[in-house]
Amino acid sequence: MRILVVNSGSSSLKFQFFDMEQESSLASGKVERIGMKGAILSYKRADGKKIKQVKEILDHTTAIDVALKTLMDKESGVIKELSEIDAVGHRVVHGGEELTHSVLIDDKILETIKDCIELAPLHNPHNIKGIQATQRLLPGVPQIAVFDTAFHHTIPDYAYMYALPYILYERYKIRRYGFHGTSHRYVAYRVARILKKPVDEINIISIHLGNGSSICAVQRGKSIDTSMGFTPVEGLVMGTRSGDIDPAIVPFIMAQEELAISQINTLLNKHSGLWGLSGISSDDREIEEAYENGNDRARLAIEVAAYRIKKYIGAYSASMGGVDVIVFTAGIGENSPRMRRLALRDMEYLGIKIDEEKNESIIKGKEGEISTPYSKVKVFVIPTNEELVIARDTANIVSFLR
Ligand code: ADP
């Protein structure tokens, strides 16, 4: 079975094409600057053959059309005709309380995804555009939605409820939903394979550190708590998002700086986190470089971020009644030995002991263990693969339809 995976954002659309016999990725690509002057298509086939083009791409339908034509390109493509695409898997950010598993998209499901726009106004509308464009261009091909929130539907009510007036939950569904579920799920099942143990015998803390970051307590294969909440702003320190703050700071700054709602939202989402603290960049590479050169604000940003991770590890060890495995994943998790070292510093009391040499050696997409043989808690770096999870779910659902 051959599956196209689509991740459609506001101005970008990522795609990847899988052959599910070997679970191999045949080609992947990205269209950036959709609707802007000079959109860019970048594409890479598994054998390394690449395309990079500047094009006029005004909307998501054109972006999907360009992606499909690229997959069929005589020189660089991987298929001859569209009928070779058996199904399409879409990343959808928010499934709300109703959509708790990956599903075949029909009119009713599309309406429910639309109902979730209120909860994810920055993401779901663009995911929907990707779905509708694909439906138009590949009529009759099954389309599956895979939700970032779904893995977290097992979080118990005492962990997902905020202590706000209950009526706000009833009226607006204000509660913790959590995100990055596809990544945390991939990592948890990968750990089980590495250890050759059933996932329901392991307690895992999965730490996804990218531009957006979150940490998840996976108790015997199920998410029981995660740091992102009603929105992706809560929890860890991120590239430009604040993570946890005292909520009373919000009205205080709004009053002092005379900010409107949109401005405080921008401040918390775009001007905070590593960027706000360091004043250098939201990109961890640049901050680490400044740290090396003795910049104190860079040191501070990294220390605050690492300390926040450490606090959550403590909290989630308590939530799960112990932890067997800690995993780092995504851009920073896979590439920053410093962040991993600082986050796990002085945690021998919990049974966490890092092998410094191994820690330094695992970067750039490598998978491996970074704890010592004496560490009670095993620590791994595992490159995430959300697209593969989407392709697997899509293949599973489609095989039931046949
Ligand atoms: P996204 O959440 O957008 O998918 P990624 O998982 O790609 O993000 O992570 C992006 C982050 O990873 C950036 O902060 C980037 O600086 C960081 N990163 C990537 N490579 C390195 C590296 N070699 N060293 C440190 N940080 C890195």
CATH number (domain holding residue 313) = 3.30.420.40
Confidence check: pLDDT of 171 > 90: yes
pLDDT digits (tens, 9 = 90+) for 218-270: 999 999 999 999 999 999 999 999 999 999 999 999 999 999 999 999 999 99
pLDDT digits (tens, 9 = 90+) for 283-306: 999 999 999 999 999 999 999 999
- For residues 257 and 135, membership in a common domain is answered with no
pLDDT digits (tens, 9 = 90+) for 105-121: 999 999 999 999 999 99
Q: What is the pLDDT of residue 402?
A: 80
Name which residue sits closest to atom 4 of ligand 1, judged by CA.
210
Range of the domain at 22: 2-147
- For residues 128 and 222, membership in a common domain is answered with no
- For residues 249 and 369, membership in a common domain is answered with yes
| Cβ count within 10 A of residue 164 | 11
Domain end, chosen from 88, 122, 147, is at: 147
Ligand 1 mean position to 381 CA, how many Å?
Answer: 14
- For residues 303 and 221, membership in a common domain is answered with yes
- For residues 15 and 119, membership in a common domain is answered with yes
- For residues 133 and 247, membership in a common domain is answered with no
Kindly list the protein residues whose Cβ atom lies closer than 6 A to any atom of ligand 1.
Answer: 210-212, 239, 283-285, 288, 330-332, 335-336
Q: What is the mean pLDDT of residues 8-21?
A: 96
pLDDT classification of 278: cutoffs 50, 70, 90 = very high
Contact 13, 64 (CB under 8 A): yes
Beta bridge partners of 225: 217
- For residues 142 and 207, membership in a common domain is answered with no
Predicted TM-score (pTM) of the model is 0.96
Please tell me the total count of domains within the chain: 2
Ligand 1 mean position to 211 CA, how many Å?
Answer: 6
pLDDT digits (tens, 9 = 90+) for 315-368: 999 999 999 999 999 999 999 999 999 999 999 999 999 999 999 999 999 999
Ligand 1 mean position to 336 CA, how many Å?
Answer: 9
Does residue 53 fall inside a structural domain? Answer: yes
- For residues 81 and 14, membership in a common domain is answered with yes
- For residues 16 and 111, membership in a common domain is answered with yes
Does residue 259 fall inside a structural domain? Answer: yes
Token pair listed for 183: 């990544």
- For residues 232 and 294, membership in a common domain is answered with yes
Does residue 106 fall inside a structural domain? Answer: yes
- For residues 101 and 241, membership in a common domain is answered with no
Which residues have C-beta within 8 Å of that of residue 342, sequence separation ≥ 6? 302, 303, 306, 307, 310
Residues recognised as catalytic: 148
Q: What is the pLDDT of residue 401?
A: 87
Does residue 188 fall inside a structural domain? Answer: no
